[in-house]
Every structure is written in C-alpha cells, then in structure tokens.
Structure 1
C-alpha cells in the first residue's frame, strides 16, 4: 500500500511531467516568423476558398460539388471556429445556403461513392457550430446511406480498398459520431480502418498507391495519415480497436520521419529523394504529426521539430494570394517511377489548400 505522501508525490510528478510536455509542445508550435502563424495563414487560405466559385459553376462537365472543395471547406470552417472569427464563420456557413434549396440540393451527388459521401462532413461541421438540425439531417443521411449495403464482414460496399478511402469513409462517419454521439458511426470507421490497415499497410508502415501500383505516392499516403488522425481524435482510449489503429499510425509516422526533406517537405514519391517536393501530401502529414504531438501520441522532442519544419516548409510555398504551390494534380495509379515524377504541379489546387487548413486548425487547437 502506498502512503498518502507517496500518492501525493506521484500525482505531483505527473503534473510536473504534464506541464513539461505542454511547454515542450508550445516551444515547437509558437513564436512563428512573420507571416507564418497558423492564425494568419489559416485566415488567408480560408478567404481564398470563400472567393472561389464551385467547380460546377464554371465547368460544364461537372454536375456536383467535388471532394477537394468539401475538404477545403471543412478545414476553413474549423479555422474560423478556432480563431473566433465570427464574420468568416458566417460567410462560410452562408456558402451552404444554396444547398438547402430543392434546386441546390441537386448539386449534392446521390451516387454511392466515397468521394461523394464525404460531402457530409461540411453540413455536420456546420450543425456542430450552429445546432441547426437542417444541416444534421443532410450530413447524417449521407453517412447512413453509405452503410445501406455492406460486405459480409460489415464494411460498406462502397469500400474499394484504395488508400483514399481511409480518409473519405472515416471522415464522414467520424463527423456523424461527433455530431450525434451515436457510437455506431465510430464503430463503422474503426472497423473499416482496421480492415484497410491489415490489408494495405506495408512492412515499412507506408501504403502502395494500389496493389498493382507499388509506389509510395505522397498524397495517397497523406489521405491515410489524415484518416487515421481524424479517427484517433475521437476514438476512446479503451476502444478495442484503438491499439491496432494507433500501432498503424505510429508505424507510419516513424517511417515518414526518416524521409522528410531538409526543406521540411516530403517528396512526390516518399522514398525517392530525386522526386520533387510535393505539398498536398506534406500538408496531410503535417496535420497528422502536429495532432500526434499535441495529443501525446508521438514523442514531442522527436516529432515536434519535424512538424514545425513541415509547417514552415508549407508556408514558404504560399504565394501572395494564399495559393499553395507544387501540388500534384489529380493522379490515378501509375506503373512506373517516371509516371509519378512527370506528373504536373499545380498552384492553388484544393488538394493542397485543404490539408494546409487542417494543419492550421491542428496548430490552433489547445
């Protein structure tokens, strides 16, 4: 039996260690150079998104809102909330008004596809910020429809075992859990994540673009890192699948640490130093690492400097209009190293704007 003095000493040591950890984190995620604070960058990139029309407004081949718009909108909403910018928040929410009308609702795809179901993260985020149930019903219906048809092992029939799915499926199901408190949604996400980890994660912790495309493409791996992070944020410590998912997450983070460039960024093909520095994957890895350090999943002294360097590397690639440079364009699986090295680079592509906002939000969270 411990004496009362021993118990008090133990509690005191825990408090001291906790304070030291918080100080260590604040050292890595504070005192930013001019123009690099997550508050300033987050607002700039959110305003950049607000000023854009939806792709369907200018592209006659596009009928619906697309997932890069959704992911960027979600990040912008989180930044607005965390910065307390009520006016930015109001305008981001007002951007949804058209989809509350019968005509506007036709721009929300009814297709049973993970890239379209993820639309639900935005109305669910708006619901959590406003408590207006109109948004809840839209987001919840997308999460529920995703599970109308399932495989024999209980996973949505929309699952393709593409690494992108590890974010697309996870994000909408976890958001539905956050909005409703209904553990069914969390179970769906956790069960799917474990199945994908068991099937797709390679011995080094990374993920091939596809089984027949054995290349560690940056953004593809970024979707996985971001999906695991979103899930672990909400998964209770005693959840039976948490340990397996945390194992997969830490294994991935340890390998990413080895391949980070001196500029703070990761390459278009993660394990190819000759590949160009790519910012969308880097943004997703930054979000995952910052969150891991802040929540104690990762050792702060090891990963804190890497996460800081990644953020500053990203900010250095922003132009004067808050467009992120060196974003790989939309990319299907390839069958050679050269295919990935030759992919065009874009500036301001929402595949890059979105994770930059997620990273800003992660840095802003207390």
Structure 2
C-alpha cells in the first residue's frame, strides 16, 4: 500500500485493531524460569504501555541544557527493541507517534553535551524498523557531532569522567556502528571506554561515584555495567583495547556476584549491607550479566542463577501499572555516606523503567 511521509504504511486508525493481533505474536517462552506473572513479555508490555500513557516527554530544563532527557531516550530505545522482539508492530507505531514531533524537529536539538547526543538512539531504532534513511542519518549525525572537536588523545570533548557517561557515549556510538558497519564508531567507543576504565575503575572492578565520593553507588555502577555489556557485544579481539575491556567487564561481574542479596537484589551502596535494596541498579546488573552469558563470556552457572534471581525480584517490584518501585532518585556526589543511605525512592522513574525494558528484551531475545 502507499506509504505516507510519516513512515506509516497504512492509516493510524488501524493501530488499535492491530493491538489485538500483533501483541499475540510473542517470543517463545518455553522452558523458562519465570511464570505468567513474572513473564518478561507481560511485564515488558506493561512497561511499554506505561511509557505510552505518559502525557509529557521527560526533558532537561536547566541553565546548561534544554532537550529531551537521556532517561526518556533510552527508555524509548528499550521499548522499541522489546516491541520488535515481540513482533508487536502496533506498539512500535504508537511509540513512533509519541516521538514524531522530536523526529520532525531533530535538527534543532542541541548536540554539545554527553546527555544530549544520546537522543540519536531513537531515530536509529526507528530506522532499523522501517528502513527510513533519514532516521539513520539523524542518529549517525548525533554520533559524529559527539566527536566534532575531540581532545588531543582522541576522546570526545564531552568527557567529564562521570560514571554514567560511558553508557550515554557508548550506546550512540555502538548504534551508529551497527547501522553503518563503519569501525570508526566502534573504535571511538573502545578508546573512550578504555580511558574511563583506566581512570575510574577500582581494583575490585567497581566504581566510586566520584573522586570525592568514595562509595559504590548502585545506579552509577549500573551505568558502567551496562556500558561494558554493550561494548563486549561488538568489540573484536583485534581491537587494541579488547583485553582490557573484557577483563574489566569480567572483574566487575565477578564482584557483583559477591554483593548480590539472597533475594536477587543489589543495594543502594553495593557493598554496604545496611543500605536498602534498589531497583534501577539491580535491573542494570541483571541485564549486564545476561548479555555476558549470551555472548559466551560468562559461562559459570552462578551467573545464570544471578540474573534469574534478579529478574524475579524485580518482577515482584512492578506494580499493576507497569511501574517499578524502589528506584533511587537522582543523586549527586557526596563525601557523606549518610547522604546515600537517606536518599528517597520513587516509583516509575524512567531511570528504572529503561533498564527494566532492556532486561526484558535481553531475556526474550535469547529465547
């Protein structure tokens, strides 16, 4: 049928009809460790529908940045990936409708901050769905602008040495590599990751929240775990940073096994048993471990048990609206341990919803 300029191949009015058709075409879930209530497809679809139900796009509105928030971008990415593996075309249409005005005005978005460029993952995901070359160009341009004026050692001038940076930088470079096949993007990500690892990783494989914040904050470490997991899926043995990145990843994963609670959760401060159990970090760690198993890097059965326990624990923390509970609020750096222990929790924050979607996608992708 005739395709209009929005990328839809038939009238949007048929989407609701399709909801009843395509949502039943799901990844096989035989011989799994979950039951119906903890199914990644069921929980994942609830999380997608929750995202679609939100009237407002999560945004930055600060004195240094005004754009779509990185948590919105990576939650949207996870939702598209999950809908795709489930064959749920109707929800992909609805997600495209949610982000259409962003795609229409993409050239006006800022591209001079580590948290701004990551929005490029959204058009790349839509390109992989409908083949629209304009969307591919949008995403790849964001990846290129991140290296518009690199530092003398070749890393991006957006470098801050914050532990969430490597996910924001790495994911857009990886996505650009995957859709272009151009190793310049892979090499950028590997160079940047190697630099961050050399400067930030501690001997036990974990990461302090900052030089003046000597604490292993859960979500901060989650960003690095997820970034390393993304990197190990694409880096070839011939890359000069391959050995360091693989060893850094496996060292971190081994350390995480040591600190996982019996119920499958990780804590707000990973190594502090007096701290409370936190959901966003747990989702990131479970995701990162599952990726390593799927890549053949983590073969010990302890890792299988670890991510399975993590998923089941998280499933118990998803409410009837598809929103994950016990997510730490945004957290700045502090040299006071009590600051971390006293941080409040929220339900449904996209910092937790995003990795919940990635984790669900990874579980179903490998079935």
Q: TM-score, normalised by structure 2?
A: 0.88
Q: Is the Cα–Cα contact under 8 Å of residues 29 and 363 in structure 1 kept in the other structure? A: no
Residue 80 of structure 2 corresponds to residue 77 of structure 1 = yes
Corresponding residue number in structure 2 for 1:94: 97
Could you tell me which residue of structure 2 aligns to residue 160 of structure 1?
160
Q: Which runs of 5+ in 1 are unaligned?
A: 1-25
Give the C-alpha shift of residue 82 in structure 1. 0.5
What's the counterpart of residue 9 of structure 2? none
Gap regions ≥5 residues in structure 2 = 1-27
Match of 2:53 in 1: 51
The equivalent residue for 1:282 is 282
Residues 261-292 of structure 1, C-alpha deviation per residue, up to 9 Å, x if partnerless?
11211000000011000000111001101111
> What residue in structure 1 maps to residue 260 of structure 2?
260
1:171 is aligned to 171
- Compute the displacement of 1:101 (Å): 2.7
Distance in 2, Cα, partners of 1:170 & 1:111: 15
Does the 8 Å CA contact 1:260/1:266 hold for their aligned counterparts? yes
* Mapped partners of 2:291, 2:300: distance in 1: 11
Residue 295 in 1 paired to residue 295 in 2? yes
Query: Within 2, Cα distance between the matches of 1:94 and 1:55?
Result: 12
- CA-based RMSD of the aligned residues comes to 2.1
1:136 aligns with 2:139: no
Q: Structure 1 295/111 Cα, relative in aligned 2: closer, same or farther at 3 Å?
A: closer
Give 3-state SS (helix, strand or coil) of 2:68's partner.
coil
- CA apart distance, 1:329: 0.5
Say whether the 8 Å CA contact 1:98–1:105 is kept in structure 2: no
Residue 353 of structure 2 corresponds to 353
Q: If the length of structure 1 is used for normalisation, what is the TM-score?
A: 0.88
Q: Give how far 1:94 is off.
A: 2.4
How many equivalent pairs are there?
A: 338
- Equivalents in 2 of 1:54, 1:292: separation in Å? 35
Distance 2:104 2:312 in 1: 41
Give, in whole Å, the separation in 1 of the partners of 2:161 and 2:299: 31
Distance, in Å, in 2 between the alignment partners of 1:234 and 1:145 is: 21
Match of 1:32 in 2: 34
Q: In the alignment, what sits opposite 2:17? A: none
